[in-house]
Amino acid sequence: MQPKFSPFLRSPVILACFGFALIGINGGANGVLLPSLSTFYHVGDATIGTLFFVSSVGYFLSALGSGFLTERLGLRWPLLLGTLTSLLGLLAFGIKLPFILLLPARLLAGFGIGIIETGFNVYTVTLPRHAVLLNYLHAFYGVGALVGPLLASSILAGPWEWNSVYLVMAIIWLPLLPGIGVFFNSVRLETREQEGKESRSGNVLSATLRLPIAWLAALFLLIYVGVEVSLGNWGYSFLLEVRQQGTVVAGWIVSGYWFGLTLGRFVLQPMAERFEIGIKVLMYACLAGIIIGLLLIWLLPYGIVAAAGFGFIGFCLAPIYPLTVALIPKLVPPRLGPSAIGMLVSISIIGLALFPWIAGILAQFHGIWTLLPYTLVLTLLMMGLWYYLVRQNVMDA
């Protein structure tokens, strides 16, 4: 019989899912707003690209503070800090600050979102059936990423300017503040309960950075993000140029890829639990599914195969990120859990820029057809890294 959650536990979980949906809305809306930002501030794409860079820096810097803050203050205060800094970042765009001031604002937003994502991941890992809940949590990010472009484009289509989108997002972020203050007031983590059992000397981040297994897991997640975002960003170009699909059809296929990613996070882990399939086997099955999907699209040059293949790949990619986070408590000492999760989340952000950039270089010099063998090689690397992770004998079969 599966354990049930008390009403007390249910409210923080719902709030965490809401928070992840907000992060997804923010990420999805940003892409739609780039042309408006470029036009309003009279800057080119290269200059606009610095916003992504400073956001990633802020995200990465959150790793330096999230573990320490969580260990000292619990979850409520870091989550409140992350929400406030994210709101400040949104409001800076909402009031149309000069472009030079948008850079520190985006840094703040990235830092805040990194703390929020780490905090909600850390909390969810402490709950019963956390692998399922982590999949739900990240599925709501996908829901937000689907809603974000619709929200932004709908506002831009009306009589409002681009900054109205940021003001609306700031308003819908506001409920997080009282929600965190109420529902995370009494939350206690295992790391704090064991204060008297473990030595608390030394910095948690430096201790985490000395763990080879943490770096191995971070590298695995880094490559995963590279595969996910490379296919999501360059798949449209591949479908247009290599498979000669129309713009509308190609757009629908890419949407199907992201829909498969969202759907898989809702259904795969619960199905695995029902059939008593462990994390190790599920991960191998998902990685094998990605390889099969890539080979089908590569070897069978038909539009219907590409549509089914992209959706299937998204579905198989779905549980990899949350399952990796769920694995962390089994890999590191309890005290280092929050810092290790922050490290994973922050390092994975590097994959958002690095691997799509490499895919773009390959496409420019050798053709966009290289997308499939490129992501296939990355997936095989993930398979090898997963093999070393499961050798730690911390998972059920």
How far is the first Cα of the chain from the last one, in angstroms, to the nearest whole number? 20
The two structure tokens encoding residue 240: 């247009």
Domain boundary among 183, 213, 246: 183
Q: Please give the pLDDT value at position 74.
A: 81
3-state SS, residue 158: coil
Joined tokens for residue 189? 């983590």
Residue 31 lies in a domain: yes
Selection from 121, 124, 50, 55 nearest residue 86 by Cα: 55
DSSP 126: T
Residue 152's CB is within 10 A of a number of other CB atoms, namely: 24
169 and 210 within one domain: no
Q: What is the DSSP letter of 88?
A: H
Provide the pLDDT for residue 194: 46
CATH of the domain at 70: 1.20.1250.20
Does residue 233 sit in the same domain as residue 381?
yes
For residues 155 and 229, membership in a common domain is answered with: no
Residue 179 shares a structural domain with residue 240 = no
Decide if 170 is inside a domain: yes
Q: What is the mean pLDDT of each run of 10 residues along the chain (397 residues)?
A: 49 92 86 81 77 80 74 85 94 94 92 90 85 89 84 85 94 94 72 45 70 89 91 84 82 85 90 87 95 94 91 94 85 80 81 81 87 96 90 55
The per-residue b/e assignment along 220-240, b for 16 or more CB within 10 angstroms, e otherwise, is bbbbbbbbbbbbbbbbbbbbb
Do 348 and 232 share a domain, yes or no? yes
Same domain, 369 and 331: yes
Position 285 in a domain? yes
Q: Does residue 135 sit within a domain?
A: no
Q: Are residues 232 and 341 in the same domain?
A: yes
Per the structure block, which two tokens stand in for 261? 């990613």
Q: Whole-angstrom Cα distance, residue 368 to residue 162?
A: 32
pLDDT for res 98: 94
157 and 47 fall within a common domain: yes
What is the structure's pLDDT at 279?
86
Residue type, position 114, single letter: G
Give CA 315 to chain center in angstroms. Answer: 15
CA dist., res. 264 & res. 255, Å (int): 14
Q: In this structure, what DSSP letter does residue 335 have? A: G
Within-domain flag for 2: no
What pLDDT was estimated at residue 180? Answer: 93
Query: In this structure, is residue 319 part of a structural domain?
Result: yes
**pLDDT at residue number 198:** 44
Q: Is residue 189 part of a domain?
A: no
- Cβ 106 vs Cβ 51: under 8 Å: yes
Residue 187: the pLDDT is: 62
Are 178 and 273 in the same domain?
no
- The whole-number pLDDT of residue 393 equals 53
Same domain, 110 and 238: no
Give the burial class of 361: count Cβ atoms within 10 A of its Cβ; 0-12 exposed, 13-18 middle, 19 or more buried: exposed
What is the domain extent for residue 303?
A: 203-397
- Measure the CA dihedral 98/99/100/103, to 10°: 120
Same domain, 271 and 152: no
Count of domains in the chain?
A: 2
pTM of the predicted model as reported, rounded to 2 decimal places: 0.79
Say if 241 falls within a structural domain. Answer: yes
- Asked if 167 and 239 sit in the same domain, the reply is no
